Amino acid sequence: MSTPKTIIILSGKRKSGKDFVASLLQEKLDPNRCAILRLSYPLKSQYSKDHGLDLEKLLDASDFKELYRADMIRWGEEKRNQDPMYFIRAISSEPGAEKPIWVVSDARRRSDMDCLHQLFPNIILSLRIHAEEIVRRERGWQFVHGVDDAESECGLDGYNSFDHHLENDGDVNKLNDVIDNILRSHHLLS
């Protein structure tokens, strides 16, 4: 199993900008040293095999994944109930996991945080990303029953152990400054 030097965990509501922030972080930290890994990757990989779907389309930013989101959530819960570490262990086999810095861009549940801290103690920096509902709507978000009120979306709402909170309402310059300051304060950027 690959063991990185630093893991930056991102959490936030749908369309809060997790992927956007993950890309900014990877650029700042150097793509040769920093990989974006997703807890949803092993889930989508196995789900696509079981259901005869195109994995690339489930992974990309298009709305294709929205057709399957509710069922993938149900299927993922079943797997997690059988083995809470299932998806956490699987990320260390993802492409890029050999790099020393991981950005895990989609923590969604209390168990994701607990398992990551348990498996990789003392190297985790956790960031919660916030965006106003109106901004998320402009980015294409709509409330969906079974998705936006499910544990996968709300499981970390009350989690109060994030290392930092980021506002991502659209001012990219401000966002860049905040991210730079966080990285500097953790000696990840000079």
Ligand X SMILES: Nc1ncnc2c1ncn2[C@@H]1O[C@H](COP(=O)(O)OP(=O)(O)OP(=O)(O)O)[C@@H](O)[C@H]1O
Site residues for ligand X per CB under 6 A = 12, 14-20, 61, 139, 168, 170, 172, 175
CB of 167 to ligand X, least distance (A): 10
Q: What residue spans of the chain are helical by DSSP H?
A: 18-29, 40-51, 55-59, 69-82, 86-91, 110-119, 133-138, 151-154, 172-185
CB proximity list for 168: less than 8 A, separation 6 or greater: 12, 16, 17, 20, 21, 129, 130, 131, 135, 175
Amino acid (1-letter code) at residue 177: D
Task: Tell me whether residue 139 is annotated as binding.
Answer: yes
Please choose, from the candidates 50, 52, 60, 55, the residue with its C-alpha nearest in 3D space to the C-alpha of residue 19: 60
For residue 63, the 8-state DSSP code is: G
Of 2 and 172, CB closest to ligand X: 172
Nearest approach in angstroms of CB 75 to ligand X is: 18
Residue 122 CB, nearest distance to ligand X (Å)? 27
Is 146 annotated to bind ligand? no
Single-letter amino acid, residue 188: L
Q: Which is nearer to ligand X, 1 or 134 (CB)?
A: 134
**Residue 190 beta carbon to ligand X: minimum distance, rounded to whole angstroms:** 24
Whether 19 has a binding-site annotation, put simply, is yes
Closer residue to ligand X (CB): 15 or 44: 15
Binding residues: 13-19, 139, 168
